[in-house]
Amino acid sequence: MKDIEPKFRCAACNRGVLNRSVARCLYCGANLPEEVKLAPELIAQREAEHARREEIRARLALRSPVQAESSRINPLDVIDGVEAGIDVIALLGDGISALGDLLS
């Protein structure tokens, strides 16, 4: 796997930037250049997605005793998988919406 090379690096310590929603390098605290930082609206979007997932998770937790019997896939496992891929959440947003609609 060569593809784990971070896309952005800190100019001060040359370590990979792990969290672009934070304005500073997590290792040395140097300010990150504008092009590395996520746009504020993108950060807000991620936070909104996270809040929405938490809400869906809470709803699934309430309903799961019924759903677990009627479905072979535990909905909570699906949500956990989505959380593991937090950087692809934008791609999965529509799927989450569909899930939310299904449950509402």
3-class DSSP assignment, residue 40: helix
Q: What is the DSSP string of 42-101?
A: HHHHHHHHHHHHHHHHHHHHHHHHHHHHH-SS-HHHHHHHHHHTGGGHHHHHHHHHHHHH
Interaction mask 11-30, Zn ion, x per CB under 5 A: -xx-----------x-xx-x
Residue 32 beta carbon to Zn ion: minimum distance, rounded to whole angstroms: 8
Residue 91 beta carbon to Zn ion: minimum distance, rounded to whole angstroms: 29
Please tell me whether residue 48 binds Zn ion under the rule CB under 5 A. Answer: no
Binding-site ranges for Zn ion (CB under 5 A): 10, 12-13, 25, 27-28, 30
